[in-house]
Structure 1
């Protein structure tokens, strides 16, 4: 059973991280709006109607400067299934490593009966465990309330960083923690746990959303924490390891471009419309 102090400490940590990140984001947006505000000529609907009647031909002096934006957007404004697939595929390799680490841990920690597994085979053990579960496990509280929620948070961030919503990311975390881990990899060694089936996706989603806002803040500060690039990159890796690895290896999304042309004002001398052209490209 998790001590009350530890439980409230975890919730307080996630809440503070999320609140801090949101405050940073809000203050930066306010500063950005203030610093980019310039005087412009207001155009009434009647003026625009007159202008369109006079001329719909754009001349050289009626074209507004081109605005090019090539800034990385987080999270992406669309569901990036390709990136999610790449991140999910990386779990296979990570699972082999995780299983090896758990196998190396003492039996009093994992509660795995290694001798029985060696004697009757791993596949036989998996079938027996799946049929017997789920049950209330007796694992150490560190595994149940820290390790499993953290893994749930990582599952959550894998989808959240690919442009999926809170509910969709929670669903991804629930699927991965249930079928990939509890009834998948871990069932080769032990019976699925009732606590883990609930705690991993639920508490993990809360922790993951805190990671999400913290990552947004770190990326807006040029991947720095306390002005340190090392701390920033370490934090990003711990909160969202697979997407961070993909970015580190130069993963590139398919280019998405967009161009908008619209009247943004009126030339006071010629009374012709001033057309604005905005081009944006996301890589």
Structure 2
């Protein structure tokens, strides 16, 4: 039921963005431009997602270390019970309702759910596949993975994080594609455009805009096409 609700909400959101009559929004075309290097299309969806998932894993481990060092009054984590035995005990118990503050439950968790969602979406996977990735990452990697070492899995985090994260994530995705289709600019400013993209998809920003993807053999189809087309090699590589 939850997945169905999120799917219907996401489809409604997409239709709304496509048909909105106000401002000058142009919904990204289903046939993205092939001569705009700012509109990033990886040559391998699997390789892009694998790289972003690896960065996400390292980032989450660093993040949980930071949370572990924060005051217990903020995280509600009991550091004295941290360990593998605690993990076994926590995953064997039914999820509980946590009492985290609004900043964690209402802001941070949906944001990270959106970050999870953005990884397969920017790689080229569908909306439904990206929702599934967000749910799996939130549930098994975080709640029943890292966080279970210090506390019982939470109902809010299992449901709210990927559900709202997927909704916000689709907004992030459409806005990112809008910025990319306008040469990386937002409201005429490239600085504002890149800042928004970095905030909405920090992992993708590192891969695409800072060039990390190139070290893992990930190429931007549009960038290669833009540089190769004067030599007549565009079609040879693209297809």
- TM > 0.5: yes
- Summarize the alignment of residues 30-109 of structure 1 with structure 2, pairs less than 5 Å apart: 70-72=35-37, 74=39, 76=41, 80-109=45-74
Residue aligning to 1:24:
25
Looking at secondary structure, tell me which structure has more helix per residue. Answer: 2
| Mean CA deviation greater in 163-172 or 108-117 | 108-117
TM-score by length of 1: 0.64
CA distance in 2, matches of 1:106, 1:86: 32
Alignment of 1:169 with 2:134, yes or no, is no
TM-score by length of 2: 0.75
The count of corresponding residues between Structure 1 and Structure 2 is: 205
Residue aligning to 2:181:
220
Q: CA deviation at 1:216?
A: 1.0
Q: CA deviation at 1:210?
A: 0.3
- Summarize the alignment of residues 132-147 of structure 1 with structure 2, pairs less than 5 Å apart: 132-147=93-108
Question: RMSD of the TM alignment (CA)?
Answer: 3.1
Larger radius of gyration between Structure 1 and Structure 2: 1
The answer to whether the 8 A contact 1:21-1:214 is kept is no
Q: CA deviation at 1:76?
A: 3.7
The runs of 5 or more residues in structure 1 that have no matched partner are 1-13, 30-68, 258-277
CA distance in 2, matches of 1:20, 1:179: 41
CA distance in 2, matches of 1:113, 1:225: 44
The answer to whether the 8 A contact 1:21-1:213 is kept is no
CA distance in 2, matches of 1:193, 1:216: 33
CA distance in 2, matches of 1:78, 1:254: 6
**CA deviation profile, 1:31-53 (whole Å, cap 9, x unmatched):** xxxxxxxxxxxxxxxxxxxxxxx
Residue aligning to 1:200:
161
CA distance in 1, matches of 2:149, 2:23: 41
Could you list the runs of 4 or more consecutive aligned residues of structure 1 that deviate by over 4 angstroms after TM superposition? 17-23, 254-257, 280-283
Pair 1:179–1:21, CA change in 2 (3 A) = farther
Residue aligning to 1:244:
205
